Amino acid sequence: MVESLREIEAKALQLPERSRAELAKSLLASLEGAASEAPLEEVIQAWLGEAERRAEELAAGQVEAIPHEQVMNEARARLR
């Protein structure tokens, strides 16, 4: 029987953080050239730049941090 995307996602989210990161990298690599023309390294660099920009905004008081638990609860609620 073929598992649904939600079932696969639920199982993947139960993996340890390092395993989830490896899975995400593998999935992104499988899309390289298909969904995007940017090589994986360019995508990684773009996300690092985005993370740095957000950290600077947070440090400058331009945005407020949202607690991890709140973010996760809201995300889970949206998936239901």
Query: What does the domain layout of the chain look like in residue ranges?
Result: 1-31, 39-80
Instruction: Say which residue the tokens 């008081």 belong to.
Output: 61
* Two tokens, residue 52: 């740095």
Question: Taking 60 as the threshold, does the pLDDT of residue 56 lie above it?
Answer: yes
Residue-by-residue DSSP string for 25-58: HHHHHHHBTTTBSS-HHHHHHHHHHHHHHHHHHH
Say if residues 12 and 23 touch (Cβ distance below 8 Å): yes
pTM of the complete model beyond 0.75? no
Question: Taking 80 as the threshold, does the pLDDT of residue 36 lie above it?
Answer: no
| Local confidence band at 38 (pLDDT 50, 70, 90 cut-offs) | low
Separation of first and last alpha carbons in the chain: 23
| Local confidence band at 30 (pLDDT 50, 70, 90 cut-offs) | confident
Give SS3 for 13.
helix
